[in-house]
Structure formats: structure tokens, C-alpha cells
């Protein structure tokens, strides 16, 4: 399975604003959910267990935009 198949990419709104890639300005992303590891949790200075993040991978340049649900 190709995780980066073009058909999967689409535009998303975050808090009512269109998500735009910080690097290349593209507006289509692949949405992924990622379980945060202990190392990631300490990196972000978080202390809750089993946190998961939403990430949007730019379809054009591959830059990952991370979001931590509150």
C-alpha cells in the first residue's frame, strides 16, 4: 500500500483556517494519527500517558505539521 498516494491528499481547515504548508505553501495534506512515544512526550514536556497527535504531511514537500488535541 502506498501511504503517500495522491488520491489521499486533501485540504484541511484548522480552527476555521485553511491549513497551508509552512515550507512550500501547498494546501493538500495526508492526515495521520500518531501515538506519541515516551521520548516524544518528554520532548514536548507533556506528562500524560497515551497521548496521540494528529499530523498532516504536506503532499508536495513532505513537511509534517503536528497538532496535539487538547
- Dihedral Cα 61, 28, 43, 51, nearest 10 deg: -150
When the beta carbons of 19 and 36 are compared against Zn ion, the nearer one is 19
Interface pick for Zn ion out of 8, 12, 26, 53 (rule CB under 5 A) = 26
Binding mask 39-58 for Zn ion (x = CB under 5 A): -------------------x
Task: Tell which residue, 15, 16, 18, 8, has the closest CA to residue 59.
Answer: 8
Place of cell 504536506: 58
**Is 19 a residue that touches Zn ion (CB under 5 A)?**
no
The contact set with Zn ion (CB under 5 A) reads 21, 23-24, 26, 58, 60-61, 63
Amino acid at each position: 500500500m502506498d501511504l503517500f498516494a495522491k488520491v489521499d491528499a486533501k485540504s484541511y481547515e484548522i480552527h476555521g483556517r485553511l491549513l497551508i504548508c509552512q515550507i512550500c505553501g501547498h494546501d493538500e495534506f495526508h492526515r495521520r494519527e500518531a501515538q506519541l512515544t515516551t521520548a516524544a512526550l518528554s520532548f514536548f514536556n507533556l506528562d500524560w500517558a497515551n497521548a496521540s497527535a494528529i499530523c498532516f504531511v504536506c503532499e508536495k514537500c513532505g513537511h509534517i505539521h503536528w497538532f496535539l488535541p487538547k
